[in-house]
């Protein structure tokens, strides 16, 4: 038996659209988008922006913090000048 202690810290959730072969992901999940069917998708800001811009049926969930929405908008429209 080992007396190894396991970390109680949970890992941050990973973006559901992350591809291991081509990691174009901007990191961990920060936005929750809900489709017309009610399905939630937890996404990084880059994938959230891409999905939100290409499919108008997706909307932000109340689970998404304002900072997460701001990050998605920054990815969608760029930094303010």
Q: Chain-wide mean pLDDT for the chain?
A: 79
The neighbour count for residue 31, using CB atoms within 10 Å, is: 29
pLDDT tens per residue, range 23-55? 566 666 688 999 999 999 888 888 899 899 999
Query: What pTM does this model have?
Result: 0.69
Torsion of CA 6, 19, 35, 10, to 10 degrees: 10
């Amino acid at each position: 038996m080992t007396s190894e202690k396991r970390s109680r810290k949970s890992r941050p959730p990973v973006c559901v659209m992350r591809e291991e072969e081509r990691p174009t992901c901007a990191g961990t999940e920060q936005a929750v988008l809900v489709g017309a069917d009610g399905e939630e998708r937890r996404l990084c800001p880059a994938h959230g922006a891409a999905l939100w811009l290409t499919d108008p049926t997706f909307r932000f969930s109340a689970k998404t913090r304002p900072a997460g929405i701001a990050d998605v908008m920054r990815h969608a429209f760029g930094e303010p000048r």
